[in-house]
Structure 1
Amino acid sequence: MRAVLAAPPPTLLVIAKAPVPGRVKTRLTPACTPEQAAALAEAALVDTLHTLATVPAGRRLLVLDGEPGRWLPPGWQVIAQSGGGLDARLAAAFGHAARLAPHAPALLVGMDTPQVSAATLAEPLSPARRAGADAWYGPASDGGFWALGLARPTEDLARRLLLGVPMSTPDTGRVLLDRLGAAGLAVRRLPEATDVDTVEDARLVAAQAPHSRFAARLRSFRAAPEVAG
């Protein structure tokens, strides 16, 4: 009797900047001070890391620009982001994941998704639901994407999909979806989410995740009307 091989658990990646004032969430200023913007970024990142820590996975990689701090929860391996634009850094992250776990799917999430639940990722990545999927795509409301997964990641495939995709534009997601389709990949869509780029985004995300660290941090800024709303 031929042995049935178990599906390998996925590799989860979070790409992030260290939450340093003046380097993160600069579009939240001047409504927020640089220190407040960094505090919100830290809360969003920690929420994201804690949520993904409850999703079944073989490895959890934080792909970080900067140095980890006391905010880093246990269970995450930190790797430095590569050089180049965001498209190159995303491709390199998938390449790193593929080298560490060659046969495992890999899913990458941005740092500011405190509203995303573990079930949103755990269910589509489960062995029972994974069959037939070549990629997972999480659209963002601003036209970008908050998550990208590849069932059989390689750095070559990631480079073909991502290099040259214009990042942080209203067309980012459309261009990436076109690339996925042109590569013949069967794409499973994840729910749409809002990235935290503006104070209005922050208020919306806090309302969607009222018990998150992010929402609590935003409420702590209530003394500044332009922030709390």
Structure 2
Amino acid sequence: MAEPVAIAILAKAPVAGLAKTRLIPALGPEGAAALQARLTAQAVRTAAAAGTGPLALWATPDATHPSFADLARGHRLTLACQPDGDLGTRMLAAVAAASGPALVIGTDCPALTPAHLAACAATLRDGIDAVAIPAEDGGYVLIGLRRPEPAPFAGMTWGTAAVMAETRRRLARAGLSWREPARLWDVDRPADLVRLSRGPILPEPDLRSGTDAAACPAAR
């Protein structure tokens, strides 16, 4: 049996006014939330199809939206709440909770495939310390580590075109080996919607308002 490589998916609840706020000028609050739900469902399906190891969805601000519960039931997915702190703190927590090699992804990259995830998992199984898939905008759509390492995360300035370049510098300074098996694009700004419209149509999500579900448990 291959060594399990966990996949942690960081996702915002698909709530109007909270999700995909940079796309609200183009889609409106409800449209942006609908897209968030569709992208999240696609990310979960992709991770499940890769079959590399256990799956966890790390939700913010909580996991009470019914779409999260539906995804958990349909894909043997553990729900967890993202901790307080910046993006680096939340990603490091997801890696630490995996108790072994882990890949961390968001929900903004519909171009990410099961084959990409399988290749990244194989890289970590081969003993490489880290793996990343850079995004065309200068960030990254995936980072994976064999063990929790604060170097790529602590004190990073997120949301800039220099994130991947700075991540490379930090990995090198820490003496960590890494690979970058692909370069992909993500959906962050209105201009990205044109590219998204040329691809496969994402299935429609369940957009019921979530107020009644229990708070999410800690990931195991």
Same fold (TM over 0.5): yes
Quote the residue 2:114 is aligned against. Answer: 118
* Distance in 2, Cα, partners of 1:80 & 1:140: 25
Q: Render the CA deviation track for 1:154-185: whole Å, top value 9, x for unaligned.
A: 2xx2x233111110011111111111111222
Quote the residue 2:172 is aligned against. Answer: 181
The Cα shift of 1:96 comes to 1.5
Q: Tell me, yes or no, if the aligned pair for 2:101 and 2:145 is still in contact at 8 Å.
A: yes
- Within the alignment, does 1:169 sit opposite 2:160 as a pair? yes
The Cα shift of 1:211 comes to 4.2
1:61-72 map, 5 Å: 61-65=56-60, 66-72=62-68
Structure 1 residue runs without a partner (length 5+): 1-5, 99-103, 215-229
- Within the alignment, does 1:199 sit opposite 2:190 as a pair? yes
Q: Tell me, yes or no, if the aligned pair for 1:138 and 1:145 is still in contact at 8 Å.
A: yes
Give me the CA root mean square deviation.
Answer: 1.9
Quote the residue 2:15 is aligned against. Answer: 20
- Of 5, 8, 33, the residue aligned with 1:38 is 33
The one of the two structures with greater contact order (alpha-carbon pairs below 8 A, sep at least 6) is 2
* Distance in 1, Cα, partners of 2:92 & 2:122: 24
The Cα shift of 1:14 comes to 0.5
Q: Tell me, yes or no, if the aligned pair for 1:44 and 1:111 is still in contact at 8 Å.
A: yes
Asked which structure has the greater CA Rg, the reply is 1
Percent identity over the alignment is: 32
Q: Tell me, yes or no, if the aligned pair for 2:119 and 2:181 is still in contact at 8 Å.
A: no
Quote the residue 2:79 is aligned against. Answer: 78
**Structure 1 pair 68/76, CA: closer, same or farther in 2 (3 Å)?**
farther
Q: Render the CA deviation track for 1:71-106: whole Å, top value 9, x for unaligned.
A: 3322110110010111211112212122xxxxx310
Quote the residue 2:207 is aligned against. Answer: none
Amino acid across the alignment from 1:165: M
Amino acid across the alignment from 1:212: L
* Distance in 1, Cα, partners of 2:182 & 2:104: 15
* Distance in 2, Cα, partners of 1:148 & 1:206: 26
Q: Render the CA deviation track for 1:132-165: whole Å, top value 9, x for unaligned.
A: 42111110111111100012x12xx2x2331111
* Distance in 2, Cα, partners of 1:213 & 1:206: 13
Q: Tell me, yes or no, if the aligned pair for 1:115 and 1:205 is still in contact at 8 Å.
A: no
SS at match of 1:91: helix
Q: Tell me, yes or no, if the aligned pair for 1:206 and 1:212 is still in contact at 8 Å.
A: no
* Distance in 1, Cα, partners of 2:203 & 2:171: 34
Structure 2 residue runs without a partner (length 5+): 205-220
